């Protein structure tokens, strides 16, 4: 991918300018002539940011006094396809981007050129080295060849590798981080379980140390209990008799009523002698009349005898009713006996509570004896599980460190003079600690000259571009500070900006080292 042309409208110091570019282009101009503006215009056109990748900078990029600005950049791919990207900002509205006159699909620009940080790391030397380590690592991770799980396990000791042999790490180092987080959670839960078991064990041992409670013995004297039982039996008997009296009284009253009813009915049935003819009403003959009188007298005698029996029975029932009614309404008890009963019953209730507490203590001791062995076994199993989890965590930590080391080795295998350190050994613990340092020809980046820094950044950008599979143009600012700049092994378009005492000028040249 190379830049063919850039058209500017009210962008920075340029009101209206158009520039053409060749595979090797030199840009000359005095300070403030707008050389760096060309690079910034490309970045704003693609991503809507300034040259540092900061968004919402349109007000600062717009030409002073202008109400709108626009940038159009025409790219030519390695296959010869032309691609014109335009971005326009009008008034206070947000900028709008088009590709060959149409609105691009979401992520289409990033698909061609990468994220703004990736693009600037390849396009503008000096940007990558200014990034925070975390962001720089993210960009580098996209160009590092994939590190397989087997490659990492081969670097680890046999025991740790065996622990992770069947684990899946689909996300590489992120998967290892997730697994470590999960194992740490399991360790915390396991430690909590151990603490709970230790508390239970202490409680069981304390209960067993107190020993079995002594057999429960009642403090109520046997003589008192004997008196209590005798008085209770007497009270029951009185209550039974009282209950029987009420029932007997009800039965007697019912019987007396029944006798009265029987008396009235029987008395009403006493026959009278009738010596007249029922047909004609004349007096019957003497012998017939006498016979009737004898029969009636015989019946009357029998009825009178029955009436006398009913009267006698009624008097007996009445006498018994009067006797029962004369008795007291409630059973009379000895006050001393009642007091003794109340006292003993209170003592019995109190002792019942003591019996319950005694039985609870006995059962607690029994349960402690039954559960202590099981708790100890659970603690052994939990400690074994905890030790296994800690070994697993250590193995995951080793995996993570070895993964970073493998990344480190593969990453630096892509460079010639550059070395990027992603870790440092900890001399005290022997562990590998993550870091981020750049060296060029064995010297720290911070000690390099400006020229050396540019060469270092060019090599990093070249590796990033090769990893993407599509070369990105390189815009080198202050190129006059880099001796023999074009002797560098560029793999794509080079735009070099030089400070010169002239107005902004673009010159084209051909260099065999640039593809």
5-9, 398-402, 486-490 — most confident range: 5-9
Q: Right CATH number for 233-325 from 1.10.287, 1.10.10, 3.40.50, 1.10.3470?
A: 1.10.287
**Is 231's pLDDT higher than 50?**
yes
pLDDT (0 to 100) of residue 333: 63
Q: Give percent of the chain with pLDDT exceeding 90.
A: 37
CA angle 42, 46, 50 (to 5 degrees): 60
Do 372 and 205 touch, CB atoms closer than 8 A?
Answer: yes
pLDDT (0 to 100) of residue 328: 65
Mean pLDDT of 73-91: 91
| CA 126/CA 448 separation, integer angstroms | 12
| CA 265/CA 446 separation, integer angstroms | 139
**Is 431's pLDDT higher than 90?**
no
pLDDT band, very low/low/confident/very high, at 17 (cuts 50, 70, 90): very high
| CA 332/CA 6 separation, integer angstroms | 125
Assign domain 2-143+445-509 to a CATH class.
alpha beta
Lowest mean pLDDT among 113-127, 314-328, 348-362: 314-328
Lowest mean pLDDT among 238-242, 268-272, 492-496: 238-242
Boundaries of every domain in the chain: 2-143+445-509, 159-210+387-401, 233-325
Residue 392 to residues 159, 360, 433, 486, Cα–Cα distance (Å):
10, 45, 19, 53
**Is 334's pLDDT higher than 90?**
no
Do 85 and 45 touch, CB atoms closer than 8 A?
Answer: yes
**Is 447's pLDDT higher than 80?**
yes
Per residue in 258-273, pLDDT (tens digit) is 989 888 998 888 888 7
What are the DSSP calls for 429-461, one per residue?
A: T--EEEEEEEEETTEEGGGS-HHHHHHHHHHHH
Lowest mean pLDDT among 106-115, 211-220, 312-321: 211-220
Lowest mean pLDDT among 62-66, 325-329, 436-440: 325-329
pLDDT (0 to 100) of residue 426: 61
Q: Tokens 């900002």 sit at which residue?
A: 89
| CA 69/CA 61 separation, integer angstroms | 9
Using the 8-state DSSP alphabet, how is residue 86 labeled? E
Which pTM was predicted?
Answer: 0.58
CA R_g for the chain: 59
CA contacts within 13 A on the Cβ side of 234: 13
Per residue in 28-44, pLDDT (tens digit) is 999 989 999 999 999 99
Output the 3-class SS for 78-132: CCCCEEEEEEEEECCCCCEEEECCECCCCCHHHHHHCCHHHHHHHHCCCCHHHCC
Residue 43 phi, psi dihedral angles, 5° rounding: -65, -45
**Is 330's pLDDT higher than 70?**
no
| CA 380/CA 390 separation, integer angstroms | 15
E strand or H helix at 3: strand 2-11
Mean pLDDT of 387-416: 87
pLDDT band, very low/low/confident/very high, at 199 (cuts 50, 70, 90): very high
């Amino acid at each position: 991918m190379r830049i063919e042309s850039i058209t500017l409208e009210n962008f920075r110091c340029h009101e209206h300018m158009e520039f053409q570019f060749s595979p090797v282009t030199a840009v000359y101009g005095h300070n403030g002539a707008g050389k760096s503006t060309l690079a910034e215009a490309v970045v704003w056109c693609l991503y809507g940011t300034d040259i540092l990748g900061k968004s919402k900078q349109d007000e600062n990029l717009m030409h002073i006094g202008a109400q709108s600005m626009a940038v159009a950049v025409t790219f030519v791919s390695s296959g010869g396809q032309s691609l014109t990207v335009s971005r326009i900002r009008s008034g206070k509205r947000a900028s709008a981007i088009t590709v060959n006159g149409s609105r691009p699909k979401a992520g289409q620009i990033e698909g061609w050129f990468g994220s703004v940080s990736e693009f600037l790391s390849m396009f503008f030397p000096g940007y990558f080295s200014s990034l925070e380590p975390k962001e720089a690592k993210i960009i580098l991770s996209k160009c590092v060849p994939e590190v397989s799980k087997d490659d990492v396990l081969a670097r680890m000791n046999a025991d740790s590798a065996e622990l992770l042999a069947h684990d899946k790490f689909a996300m590489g180092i992120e998967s290892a981080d997730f697994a470590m987080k999960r194992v740490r959670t399991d360790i915390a839960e396991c430690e909590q379980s151990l603490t709970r078991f230790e508390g239970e064990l202490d409680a069981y041992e304390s209960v067993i140390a107190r020993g079995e409670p002594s057999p429960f013995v009642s403090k109520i004297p046997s003589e008192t209990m004997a008196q209590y039982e005798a008085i209770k039996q007497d009270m029951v008997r009185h209550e039974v008799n009282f209950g029987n009296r009420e029932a007997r009284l009800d039965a007697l009253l019912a019987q007396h009523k029944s006798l009265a009813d029987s008396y009235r009915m029987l008395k009403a049935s006493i026959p009278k002698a009738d010596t007249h003819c029922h047909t004609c009403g004349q007096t019957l003959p003497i012998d017939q009349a006498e016979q009737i009188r004898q029969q009636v007298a015989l019946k009357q005698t029998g009825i009178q005898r029955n009436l006398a029996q009913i009267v006698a029975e009624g008097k007996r029932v009445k006498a018994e009713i009067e006797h029962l009614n004369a008795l007291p309404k409630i059973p009379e008890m000895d006050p001393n006996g009642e007091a003794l009963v109340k006292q003993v019953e209170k003592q019995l209730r109190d002792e019942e509570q003591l019996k319950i507490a005694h039985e609870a203590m006995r059962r607690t001791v029994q349960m402690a004896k039954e559960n202590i062995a099981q708790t100890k076994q659970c603690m052994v199993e939990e400690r074994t599980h905890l030790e296994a989890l800690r070994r697993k965590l250590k193995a995951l930590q080793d995996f993570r460190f070895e993964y970073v080391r493998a990344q480190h080795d593969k990453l630096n295998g892509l460079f010639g003079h550059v070395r990027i350190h992603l870790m440092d050994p900890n001399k005290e613990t022997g562990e590998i600690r993550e870091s981020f340092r750049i060296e060029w020809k064995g010297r720290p980046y911070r000690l390099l000259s400006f020229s050396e820094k540019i060469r270092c950044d060019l090599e990093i950008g070249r590796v990033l571009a090769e990893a993407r599979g599509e070369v990105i143009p390189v815009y080198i600012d202050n190129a006059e500070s880099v001796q023999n700049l074009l002797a560098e092994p560029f793999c794509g378009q080079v735009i070099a900006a030089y400070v010169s005492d002239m107005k902004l000028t673009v010159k084209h040249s051909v260099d065999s080292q640039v593809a």
